[in-house]
Amino acid sequence: MPVDLRQHAALMTPPDPQSLAFLRDRRVGHLATANAAGDPSVVPVCFALIETAGDPAIVIAIDEKPKGDPRKLRRVRNILERSDVALIADQYSEDWQQLAWVLVRGQAGLLEPGAPGHAEALLALRLKYPQYARMRLEALPVIAIRDLSLTSWQGSDAALMESVRPGREELAALIRGRRSVRAFDTRPAPREIVEEAILAAGWAPSPHGRQPWRFVVVESRERRYALADAMAATWRAQLRLDGQDAAIVEARLEKSRERLQRAPVLIVPCLYLEDLDVYPDPDRRRAEETMAIQSLGAAVQNLLLSLYAAGVDGGWMCAPLFCPEVVQEALGLAPALIPHALIPVGYAARDPVRRPRMPLADLIADWQ
């Protein structure tokens, strides 16, 4: 590309919005490090851009490595010896007027597990790369590059230094990858991931923007067990109404109880109608409530996708619909909070069986 690389040091400037947008959208970059003797190393990396209080940083995951301690990787050893690094992200096209790149320099270090910013970095990486959702990265450090300065170049026809929407392929992978998990191990679900998922739920469309839903988070073991016990009698009665054998009823009941007891967190999505518009006629009142219920479903889908993107699994249980008063009493909820679902949250103990999906031709009822 027609730029004198020897001039980069003089051209480096603080990050600007267009270049940051370009970096945010790139799927791969090349990280350059050097050891104390100045011996260079360049490797391709996946990365995410995070901004805290207006201070941008680039974070890079250290993937699960089958070869032993990831801290022995050359790039990590180099960073520990010499913190100044460079990263370049580019776009290539056979039409050279469409070429573009951004070169970043900064100071790199390791975010150790539990350190401030570690969970935020993993969340950003998992939101950008669904592949990370299935990797257990919580016990691994993350490379963080701060004190950024950069330079960039683009061809005369390149128009990609602008913020763009998330890629269609990445979104499709996230939607298709989400699964309903019924068996959880006992690892705790990070609080920040649960909070981020509830924030994502808050961006769902809703009637008049009123957001007619609230979420109750049940984390204590005592509360989870109490809720399972309180719902057990209703479950048993309903299963028996189906004419099932008593032994089968008890087996199914035990599986449902175990699901609630083993999941480290339960989220109870509740319908909240207090802020909806009020109409004098019953038809519009019913329509308003229907819109609220529809929007609750959209909020729950946002929540489930956010959990999956962060590497945590969930499942959608509708049991509270059949005994809302029991759930309200067991959790001490206000009457205005109407339980509509129960979302166990945690890490899958095993991969669930995926149910087949209808082909496009069957999904489209009519096209006029």
Q: What are 100-148's pLDDT values in tens digits? A: 899 999 999 999 998 988 988 988 888 888 788 778 888 899 999 999 9
pLDDT tens per residue, range 331-360: 999 999 999 999 999 998 888 888 888 998
Closest CA to 87 of 124, 54, 47, 122: 47
How many CA atoms, within 13 angstroms, populate the side-chain half-sphere of residue 323? 20
Domain with CATH 2.30.110.10 in the chain: 5-166
Cα separation, 35 vs 25, in Å, equals 30
- Homologous superfamily (CATH) for 5-166: Electron Transport, Fmn-binding Protein; Chain A (2.30.110.10)
CATH topology of domain 178-346: NADH Oxidase (3.40.109)
Domain with CATH 3.40.109.10 in the chain: 178-346
Closest CA to 300 of 183, 194, 197: 197
Collapsed DSSP state (helix, strand, coil) of residue 154: strand
Q: Which two tokens stand for residue 360?
A: 């496009």
Cα separation, 316 vs 267, in Å, equals 10
- Tell me the DSSP string of 227-288: HHHHHHHHHHHHHHHTT--HHHHHHHHHHHHHHHHHSSEEEEEEE--TTS---SSHHHHHHH
Query: In what helix (H) or strand (E) does residue 8 lie, and over which residues does it extend?
Result: helix 8-11
Q: End-to-end alpha-carbon separation of the chain, Å?
A: 50
Per the model's pLDDT, the better-predicted residue between 161 and 13 turns out to be 13
Per the prediction, the chain carries an average pLDDT of: 87
pLDDT tens per residue, range 178-203: 899 988 988 888 888 899 899 899 99
